[in-house]
Structure formats: C-alpha cells, structure tokens
C-alpha cells in the first residue's frame, strides 16, 4: 500500500514549518518569524507508530490577497490539499480565531478530506482561553500543541494516523501485477502505455510533462491481470518551474511504492542522465522489481557493437542495478514491444520468489567452502544459518557470529552465489544480519 500523504496548511506565520521540522526530526523548512517565508511546499517521509507517511509543508494561505506571491502560495496549498489524504489545519491558538482562519476552513471543508484542527503556540496547562472559539469552524475538537516546545505533537499524530486506511492483510494474496512506468519527462512513457494497451488511453504530447498524475489502467493479458501506472515525468528539482509538477513528483514516488515492477524508461538518444540515476535509486531503495527500457532505439545509427556498448554504459552508470534486465524498444514503431509484458511477469515472479531453507543453506555452505569468510585479528566470520524472511523484495536473514566481520564485499559474494543458483533477475536482494554465538546454535 502506498504511503498516505499529510498536508500542513493554514494562514501565514502560525508555525507550520516548525511543526514540519519537529515531526521530520530535522530542520528542513526555513523557520523565520516572518509571514510568507515558506513559499514552496516541502515534503519528507516520516513514521509514527509504525505508520509511514509523506508530510507536506505549505506556504501560508492568504485567502483575500490578490498579490502575486500570496496568490501562488494559496494555489500551492490548494494543490497540497488535492494531493493529501489527511489535512492538518494549523491556527494560532494564542492569537485566537481570525477571519482568515474562517476563510481557509471554508476552503478545506469543500475538499471532503479528513481535517485535524491544530491550535499551535499553546504551552499552558488546560485549555487555552481561545480554545472554544475554534469550535465555530465546525472541524471537530481542536488539538492543542506547541510546535516550538514539542507539546501535544504525539496526540496530534495519533489523530492523523487514525484517519489512514486500514492495512489490507490479504494484500499479499493479490495476484494482479502492478507496473509503474517511470522516468524523466518526454522519454515516451505514455507512448509505451498506449502500445501495451493497444489503444490511446493516455494523452501523448511532444511537450515534456504532459502527464501530471499517476494514471492507473487495469487490463488483462492472456490469463494474467495487470495494472499499468503511468507516472508523471520526474524532473530535477532545479528544473521544476510549475507548482503542479512538484506535486506530481510526490505522486510519481507514490506510484513506485504501489508497484511490483518498475519500467525505467531511458531515452536512447540522451543515454543515462543524472536524473535517471535518482529515479532508479528510488525504485531500488523501495525493493521493486526493475526493467531498464531503452526507448527510441529506432533513432540510433547502429553497427555490430552499438547495443553492447550501450549496455556497458548503462551498467557503468547504474552499477547497483546489475540485476535489472535491459530491453531496447521503440514505442513509435512497436519494435520488441510484444515481449515487454512477458519480461514484466517474469520479473514480478522473481521479486516474489521464496527459497526453501534447506536448499538456501546448502548454497551458502558451499559458497563458504569455495571462498573462506573474512577474518580480523584471528577471529573469522561464521555464517551459522540462513532463512528467507520476506518477498517483494526477497529478504534473507543471516545468523552470524559477529556483524563487524561481515565485509560488504563478502555479502555481495553471497548475494551473487544466491543469484547464480536461483536467478532473482530483475529484483534487488536484501540481507538482515543477526548475531548469534556458537553456543546458541
């Protein structure tokens, strides 16, 4: 399930950025005692009581102002509200209810989203003198907090996570293969979707960034059910000029989280860019199956070495994605498009594969015999036992005598031996190290 999105909104200078930094655990937003400092929304991944969510900080809303910057800030906040699953509406509990608060509340109620009213700057025991005034907003019982002093933050977050959808315990049994088409703008993602579906369901344009939202399209291929998630193109932060595209970044990352397999689309003419690396890294860190799709291959002049050289360049630039298969296609001409879904299904199965414990320990035992584990100051690494703990991505627990002795190069060696025996093509592999003395065996 994708992480819920929580937006912090309110008029200027009520303490939104201070709350954001407090919850995020680090100073991300600029905090100044001056209205209008946060002109851009900023977002971060946070966790509360095992609930992970994306928190968005927004510029202050000034409902009646027609000045350019306040108007842009208002639009930013409106977009954050559209993107969010839960809204924290922050007001200044010390200053009391204002006409601007009433205007913002009216706007928020129209969203029909869960809204939590947070009275900030309250550092007194019992309710503040303005507490009951805020019931006029008809947004339920206010939560009194002090962002600066970290008072009441836990109660506020308890309210936030209470509005998250319940986790579906049967989600693992869902056999639908969810595929996210990811990549920077104008590499042909929408054209690939249309080729796969065989019909034009997504607007295709020469203008970079046409696809603003993640569009889910369910379909059936043979006996298998799929959902294609066509994401908005992800741009370098310095290149994002339109406010709306900044929220598309969040939606694109959310699409990656929901996917089983990501198709990373690279422009054959441009090759691997810095942004491709960042997008690929996000998918890798989230443990998703990955296929690298080189589109517009029809535009490349080729000889006998062209494809091999391109593969080498990709492996050099995306070294941590050695496991990801590479496909060369043309969405325009349809070249090799008929093989994409077969590869997607294969990688999805690899990402969800389980290995019998006995067989796994035989492979690791043989690997340690062929290449002795490292040692330090006379003490040698021992791998007592291994078991698979999870799938999507495949995750293995190694019970060892000392974590300090497990050098990353030897862990990579173990991973390579596992891949040689079981495949796991297209999926990252995770390891968890558990120390266990020999007497505990």
Q: Are residues 38 and 186 in the same domain?
A: no
Domain of 280, CATH number, reads: 3.40.50.300
Q: Of 108, 130, 162, which one is at a domain's C-terminal end?
A: 162
* pLDDT tier for residue 41 given thresholds of 50, 70 and 90: very low
Q: Give the domain extent around 267.
A: 171-351
* pLDDT tier for residue 261 given thresholds of 50, 70 and 90: very high
CA–CA dist 283, 180 (Å, integer): 10
Q: Are residues 308 and 179 in the same domain?
A: yes
Confidence at residue 200, expressed as pLDDT on a 0 to 100 scale:
47
CA–CA dist 87, 107 (Å, integer): 12
In total, how many domains does the chain have? 3
Packed helices 243-258 and 274-285: angle between N→C axes, nearest 10 degrees: 40
Confidence at residue 42, expressed as pLDDT on a 0 to 100 scale:
62
User: For 147-158, how does the pLDDT look when each residue is reduced to its tens digit (9 = 90+)?
Assistant: 888 888 889 999
Lowest mean pLDDT among 128-132, 340-344, 352-356: 128-132
Mean local confidence (pLDDT), 141-164: 89
CA–CA dist 197, 15 (Å, integer): 48
Give the DSSP letter of residue 300: S
Q: Are residues 106 and 175 in the same domain?
A: no
Domain of 374, CATH number, reads: 3.30.300.20
CA–CA dist 59, 35 (Å, integer): 9
Q: Of 110, 134, 162, which one is at a domain's C-terminal end?
A: 162
Q: Are residues 314 and 262 in the same domain?
A: yes
User: For 2-38, how does the pLDDT look when each residue is reduced to its tens digit (9 = 90+)?
Assistant: 678 888 888 888 888 888 888 877 544 444 444 433 3
User: For 371-419, how does the pLDDT look when each residue is reduced to its tens digit (9 = 90+)?
Assistant: 999 998 889 999 999 999 999 999 999 999 999 999 999 999 999 999 9
Q: Of 162, 179, 194, which one is at a domain's C-terminal end?
A: 162
Q: Are residues 22 and 158 in the same domain?
A: yes
Q: Are residues 194 and 275 in the same domain?
A: yes
CA–CA dist 175, 393 (Å, integer): 16
Q: Are residues 210 and 99 in the same domain?
A: no
| Statement: residue 194 has pLDDT above 50 | yes
CA dihedral 29, 30, 34, 37 (to 10 degrees): -70
Q: Are residues 268 and 362 in the same domain?
A: no
| Statement: residue 166 has pLDDT above 60 | yes
Q: Are residues 156 and 236 in the same domain?
A: no
User: For 78-118, how does the pLDDT look when each residue is reduced to its tens digit (9 = 90+)?
Assistant: 766 777 889 999 898 888 888 888 888 888 888 888 999 99
Say whether 53 sits in a helix, a strand or coil.
strand
Q: Are residues 152 and 76 in the same domain?
A: yes
Q: Are residues 280 and 314 in the same domain?
A: yes
Confidence at residue 20, expressed as pLDDT on a 0 to 100 scale:
84
Q: Are residues 42 and 10 in the same domain?
A: yes
Confidence at residue 418, expressed as pLDDT on a 0 to 100 scale:
97
- Torsions phi, psi for 305 (to 5 deg): -110, -5
* pLDDT tier for residue 244 given thresholds of 50, 70 and 90: very low
């Amino acid at each position: 399930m994708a992480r819920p999105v929580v937006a912090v909104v309110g008029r200027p200078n009520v303490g939104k950025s201070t709350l954001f930094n407090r919850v995020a655990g680090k100073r991300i937003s600029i905090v100044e005692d001056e209205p209008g400092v946060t002109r851009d929304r900023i977002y971060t991944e946070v966790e509360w009581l095992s609930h992970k969510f994306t928190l968005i900080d927004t510029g202050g809303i000034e409902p009646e102002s027609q000045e350019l910057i306040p108007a842009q800030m208002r639009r930013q906040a409106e977009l954050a509200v559209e993107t969010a699953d839960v809204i924290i509406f922050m007001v200044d509990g010390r200053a009391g209810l204002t006409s601007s608060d009433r205007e913002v509340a009216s706007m928020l109620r129209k969203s029909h989203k869960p809204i939590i009213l947070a009275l900030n700057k309250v550092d007194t025991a019992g309710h503040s003198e303005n507490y009951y005034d805020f019931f006029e907003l008809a947004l339920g019982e206010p939560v009194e907090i002090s962002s600066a002093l970290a008072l009441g933050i836990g109660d506020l977050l308890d309210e936030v996570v209470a509005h998250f959808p319940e986790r579906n315990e049967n989600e693992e049994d869902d056999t639908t293969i969810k595929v996210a088409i990811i990549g920077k703008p104008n590499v042909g993602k929408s054209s690939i979707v249309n080729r796969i579906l065989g019909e034009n369901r997504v607007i295709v344009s020469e203008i970079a960034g046409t696809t603003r939202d993640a569009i889910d399209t369910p379909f059936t291929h043979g006996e298998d059910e799929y959902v294609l998630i066509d994401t908005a193109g992800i741009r370098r932060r310095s290149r994002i000029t339109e406010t709306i595209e900044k929220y598309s970044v969040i939606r694109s990352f959310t699409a990656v989280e929901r996917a089983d397999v990501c198709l990373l689309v690279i422009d054959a003419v441009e090759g691997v860019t810095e942004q491709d690396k960042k997008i690929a890294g996000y998918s890798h860190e989230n443990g998703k199956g990955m296929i690298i799709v080189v589109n517009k291959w029809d535009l490349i002049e080729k000889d006998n070495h062209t494809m091999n050289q391109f593969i080498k360049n990709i492996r050099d630039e995306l070294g941590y994605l050695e496991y990801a298969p590479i496909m060369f296609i043309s969405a325009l001409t349809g070249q090799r498009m008929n093989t994409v879904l077969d590869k997607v299904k294969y990688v999805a199965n690899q990402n969800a594969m389980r290995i019998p414990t006995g067989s796994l320990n035989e492979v690791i035992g043989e690997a340690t015999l062929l290449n002795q584990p490292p040692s330090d100051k006379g003490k040698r690494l021992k791998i007592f036992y291994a078991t698979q703990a999870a799938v999507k991505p495949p995750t293995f627990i190694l019970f060892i005598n000392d974590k300090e002795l497990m050098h990353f190069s030897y862990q990579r060696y173990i991973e390579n031996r596992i891949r040689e025996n079981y495949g796991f093509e297209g999926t990252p592999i995770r390891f968890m190290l558990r120390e266990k003395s020999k007497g505990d065996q």
